[in-house]
């Protein structure tokens, strides 16, 4: 995580750096800082907390200057504090860094032995010292950065400036995103396009192990061996106003209510009256999907939950076995890959470090092909995959993912149906499911109408410290996702279980202080779920049940709050039941007064491992 902005311009660049950091705050907001070359010195402004804290310091004592680097931090090494805030200065250089350096402890000891002192606990300051050593030995800033990164293990995107070359910034990336913004007589570096869109729409994406040098008039990219490499510039499709909050109180609320539109956009031009349209996964998709006999889905967090739902769908509709695995585990495990297995990576940002690394690792493991489900067309995951289906959620600003999840489910449903047809799903069922999927935006629209009821239920949670979420079948991942939302933004310790596992241990936790949230769609598992809920009620637990309109459940029982939802058919019900879960987490968090869009400790696009 962490966000980087840097600029070399003729004008004072502090306001540009601050605006860029604000756009990057989703990547971390433990502390913020910037360093600007002002005459013969490098001046820093740093503050614990959000960018606006640092901005207030700057406003009180502005720093002029046209060369600068800036950073908003998500703490990995060292507590959030001004001392640990970037930029870090060592000798004649200043550095901002996104990522984790793994051999920092060894390097720190070696440098201390040489007489270096360190003012922070960060791995970044160690990196700065390594670069400064090379600068002091007579290298140019670019040579010094190149030499330094060859000594470092880990992942990084960095921007570095030097007192000796005050109108120049050098950047480098490995495993974390960095791009160049190309202006008129000015150049920028940023962690993403949104950080720079207000000053330019011409972007150049850097690749792994690139080292870049920018001045006002030039951009030059080099490999780690020092030879120049060519990188093409593109016009970005992001618009500057797609990220405004409008009438909503929080981005998260806006994004929850955007879901009918986001899902409809994701379906548009991809499914018609006769089924899934041809070539929507890329023009090379047909032979690959025809051949697919197994699927491995790899993702993190919310995207992992989307993959878990997809497992139910694909196994049922296409009879293809699906394994879903957390990316950070997948990478380091000696995975068995049966013949003709498709690797599917799921990531909202397409820059999630673990997912990206897993995808790269998969190249060595003999998959049929790689397939990306992603929300950012220019992202690394998309660029490096053979096949892809873009979700069209639009920019997601709230750190707790909502519309990204339901659009990922939509993309997976398209894939499951398409594979089903290829693998002998009968035509009538296929067309019925396609019709059902097309109705998803309407069912989501309806599910959003439960908001007033959920607002009332949210009251129950204000004083609670725990909750259990229960689901069965494809609704178990929905329960997982619901509990994750509540965790992320309300800090309530919510945990999900497949309902049948309750009596194998977690039931010991149930008493009157432990509310239970259950998803009860209509279907063959309803009676089993009702038995599980009886077990909870017999122990005094308070129940909140999201029940399908058609499910035969007693309303109005004591200690049971029932919210009725029309789940549509089996295929779309997981996406539909996600909506009240999101609303519940949102309203509980609002009532508890947490920072809904930027919850503590988290960051959006997790670009460190």
493 near a copy of itself (CB under 8 A)? yes
Q: Which long-range contacts (CB under 8 A, 24 or more apart) does 274-280 make?
A: 274/431, 275/417, 275/421, 275/430, 275/431, 275/434, 276/414, 276/417, 276/418, 276/421, 276/434, 280/389, 280/414, 280/418
Q: How far apart are CA 224 and CA 211, in angstroms?
A: 7
209 near a copy of itself (CB under 8 A)? no
CA nearest neighbour of 454 among 577, 339, 569, 563: 563
Q: Which stretch binds a copy of itself (CB under 8 A): 19-27, 207-215, 527-535, 577-585?
A: 527-535
Smallest gap, in angstroms, from Cβ of residue 322 to a copy of itself? Answer: 8
Q: How far apart are CA 24 and CA 603, in angstroms?
A: 10
287 near a copy of itself (CB under 8 A)? no
Q: Which stretch binds a copy of itself (CB under 8 A): 8-16, 141-149, 242-250, 308-316?
A: 308-316
Show contacts with a copy of itself in window 534-573 (CB under 8 A): 534-535, 537-540
Strands 154-162 and 93-101: antiparallel
Active site residue 530: no
- Taking CB under 8 A as the rule, which mask of x and - marks residues 232-271 in contact with a copy of itself? ----------------------------------------
508 near a copy of itself (CB under 8 A)? yes
CA nearest neighbour of 325 among 280, 294, 281, 349: 294
Active site residue 176: no
Q: How far apart are CA 407 and CA 262, in angstroms?
A: 7
Cβ-count burial of 458 within 10 angstroms (0-12 exposed, 13-18 middle, 19+ buried)? buried
Q: How many CB atoms lie within 10 A of CB 408?
A: 30
Show contacts with a copy of itself in window 74-93 (CB under 8 A): 75-80
Smallest gap, in angstroms, from Cβ of residue 451 to a copy of itself? Answer: 23
**Helix, strand, coil shares, percent, the chain, to 5:** 40, 25, 40
Question: Can the peptide bond before residue 87 be classed as cis, meaning omega within 30 degrees of 0?
Answer: yes
**Candidate list 271, 507, 516, 573; residue touching a copy of itself; CB under 8 A:** 507
498 near a copy of itself (CB under 8 A)? yes
Q: Which stretch binds a copy of itself (CB under 8 A): 169-177, 221-229, 444-452, 499-507?
A: 499-507
Q: Which stretch binds a copy of itself (CB under 8 A): 173-181, 206-214, 436-444, 596-604?
A: 596-604
Tokens read off for 398? 């709230």
Is 85 in contact with 47 (CB distance < 8 Å)?
yes
Show contacts with a copy of itself in window 469-488 (CB under 8 A): 472-473, 476, 484, 487-488
Which residue number, 476 or 546, has a Cβ lying nearer to a copy of itself?
A: 476
Which residue number, 190 or 523, has a Cβ lying nearer to a copy of itself?
A: 523
Q: What angle do CA 424, 425, 431 make, to 5 degrees?
A: 135
Show contacts with a copy of itself in window 337-376 (CB under 8 A): 338, 354
463 near a copy of itself (CB under 8 A)? no
Smallest gap, in angstroms, from Cβ of residue 475 to a copy of itself? Answer: 11
Q: Which residues contact 213 (CB under 8 A, 6 or more apart)?
A: 141, 142, 168, 169, 170, 171, 219, 220, 221, 222
**Candidate list 137, 426, 465, 557; residue touching a copy of itself; CB under 8 A:** 465
Which residue number, 212 or 489, has a Cβ lying nearer to a copy of itself?
A: 489
**Candidate list 67, 146, 266, 328; residue touching a copy of itself; CB under 8 A:** 328
336 near a copy of itself (CB under 8 A)? yes
Which residue number, 231 or 592, has a Cβ lying nearer to a copy of itself?
A: 592
**Candidate list 59, 290, 332, 429; residue touching a copy of itself; CB under 8 A:** 332
Q: Which stretch binds a copy of itself (CB under 8 A): 3-11, 165-173, 276-284, 510-518?
A: 510-518
Q: Which of 2, 176, 300, 374 is catalytic?
A: 2
Which residue number, 63 or 585, has a Cβ lying nearer to a copy of itself?
A: 585
- Taking CB under 8 A as the rule, which mask of x and - marks residues 392-421 in contact with a copy of itself? ------------------------------
Q: Which residues contact 116 (CB under 8 A, 6 or more apart)?
A: 90, 129
Q: Which long-range contacts (CB under 8 A, 24 or more apart) does 195-201 make?
A: 195/3, 195/5, 195/20, 195/21, 195/23, 195/24, 196/5, 196/20, 197/23, 197/236, 197/238, 197/239, 197/240, 198/16, 198/19, 198/20, 198/23, 198/240, 199/16, 201/235, 201/236, 201/238
Which residue number, 127 or 214, has a Cβ lying nearer to a copy of itself?
A: 127
383 near a copy of itself (CB under 8 A)? no
Which residue number, 162 or 347, has a Cβ lying nearer to a copy of itself?
A: 347
110 near a copy of itself (CB under 8 A)? no
510 near a copy of itself (CB under 8 A)? yes
Q: Which stretch binds a copy of itself (CB under 8 A): 17-25, 70-78, 182-190, 192-200?
A: 70-78
CA nearest neighbour of 36 among 59, 73, 71, 70: 70
Which residue number, 136 or 531, has a Cβ lying nearer to a copy of itself?
A: 531
Which residue number, 57 or 323, has a Cβ lying nearer to a copy of itself?
A: 323
**H or E element that contains 172:** strand 165-174
Tokens read off for 290? 């025809």
Beta bridge partners of 101: 154
Q: Which stretch binds a copy of itself (CB under 8 A): 39-47, 128-136, 260-268, 525-533?
A: 525-533
Q: Which of 48, 50, 311, 604 is catalytic?
A: 604
Return the C-alpha torsion angle 137, 139, 144, 150, nearest 10.
Answer: -80
**Candidate list 91, 183, 282, 500; residue touching a copy of itself; CB under 8 A:** 500
Edge to edge, the sheet with strand 322-326 lists 322-326, 294-299, 341-347, 369-374, 387-390
- Per DSSP, the three-state class of 494 is strand
606 near a copy of itself (CB under 8 A)? yes
Which residue number, 190 or 471, has a Cβ lying nearer to a copy of itself?
A: 471
Annotated catalytic residues are 2, 604
């Amino acid at each position: 995580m962490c966000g980087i902005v840097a600029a070399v311009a003729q004008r004072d660049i502090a306001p540009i750096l601050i605006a860029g950091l604000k756009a990057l705050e989703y990547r971390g907001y433990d502390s913020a800082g910037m360093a600007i070359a002002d005459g013969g010195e490098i001046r820093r402004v740093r503050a614990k907390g959000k960018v606006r804290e640092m901005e207030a310091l700057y406003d009180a004592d502005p720093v002029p200057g046209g060369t600068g680097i800036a950073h908003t931090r998500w703490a990995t090494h060292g507590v959030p504090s001004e001392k640990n805030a970037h930029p870090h200065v060592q000798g004649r250089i200043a550095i901002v860094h996104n990522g984790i350096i793994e051999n920092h402890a060894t390097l720190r000891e070696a440098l201390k032995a040489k007489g270096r002192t360190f003012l922070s606990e960060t791995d970044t300051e160690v990196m700065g010292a390594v670069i400064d050593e090379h600068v002091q030995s007579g290298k140019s800033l670019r040579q010094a950065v190149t030499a330094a990164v060859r000594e470092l293990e880990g992942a990084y995107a960095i921007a570095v400036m030097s007192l000796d070359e005050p109108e120049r910034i050098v950047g480098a990336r490995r495993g974390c995103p960095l791009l160049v913004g190309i202006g008129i007589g000015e150049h920028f570096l940023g962690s993403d396009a949104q950080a720079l869109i207000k000053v330019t729409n011409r972007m150049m994406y850097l690749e792994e192990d690139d080292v870049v040098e920018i001045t006002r008039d030039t951009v030059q990219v080099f490999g780690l061996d020092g030879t120049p490499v060519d990188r093409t510039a593109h016009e970005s499709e992001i618009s500057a106003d797609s990220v405004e909050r409008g009438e909503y109180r929080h981005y998260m609320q806006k994004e929850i209510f955007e879901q009918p539109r986001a899902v409809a956009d994701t379906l548009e031009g991809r499914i018609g009256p006769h089924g899934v349209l041809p070539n929507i996964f890329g023009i090379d998709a047909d032979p690959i999907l025809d051949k697919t006999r197994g699927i491995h889905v790899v993702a993190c967090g919310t995207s992992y939950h989307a993959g878990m739902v997809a497992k139910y769908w694909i196994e049922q509709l296409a009879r293809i076995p699906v394994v879903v695995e957390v990316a950070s585990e997948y990478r380091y495990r000696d995975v068995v890959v049966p013949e003709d297995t498709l690797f599917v990576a799921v990531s909202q940002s397409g820059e999630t470090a673990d997912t990206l690394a897993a995808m790269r690792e998969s190249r060595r493991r003999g998959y049929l092909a790689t397939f990306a489900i992603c929300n950012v067309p220019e992202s690394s995951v998309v660029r490096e995959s053979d096949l892809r289906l873009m979700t069209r959620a639009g920019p997601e600003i709230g750190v707790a993912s909502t519309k990204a999840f339901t659009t990922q489910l939509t993309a997976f449903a398209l894939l499951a149906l398409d594979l089903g047809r290829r693998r002998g799903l009968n035509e009538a069922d296929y067309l019925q499911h396609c019709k059902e999927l097309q109705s998803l935006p309407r069912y989501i629209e309806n599910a959003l109408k439960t908001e007033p009821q959920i607002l009332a239920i949210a009251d129950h949670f204000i004083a609670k410290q725990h909750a259990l979420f229960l689901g069965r079948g494809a609704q178990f991942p929905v329960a997982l996702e619901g509990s994750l939302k509540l965790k992320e933004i309300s800090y309530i310790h919510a945990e999900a279980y497949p309902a049948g596992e309750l009596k194998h241990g977690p039931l010991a936790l149930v008493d009157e202080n432990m509310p239970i949230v259950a998803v009860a769609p209509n279907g063959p598992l309803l009676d089993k779920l009702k038995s599980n809920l009886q077990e909870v009620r017999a122990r005094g637990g308070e129940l909140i049940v999201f029940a399908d309109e058609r499910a035969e459940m007693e309303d109005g029982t004591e200690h049971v709050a029932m919210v009725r939802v029309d789940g549509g058919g089996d295929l779309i019900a997981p996406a539909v039941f996600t909506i009240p879960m999101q609303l519940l987490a949102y309203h509980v968090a609002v009532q508890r007064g947490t920072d809904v869009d930027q919850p503590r400790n988290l960051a959006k696009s997790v670009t460190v491992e």
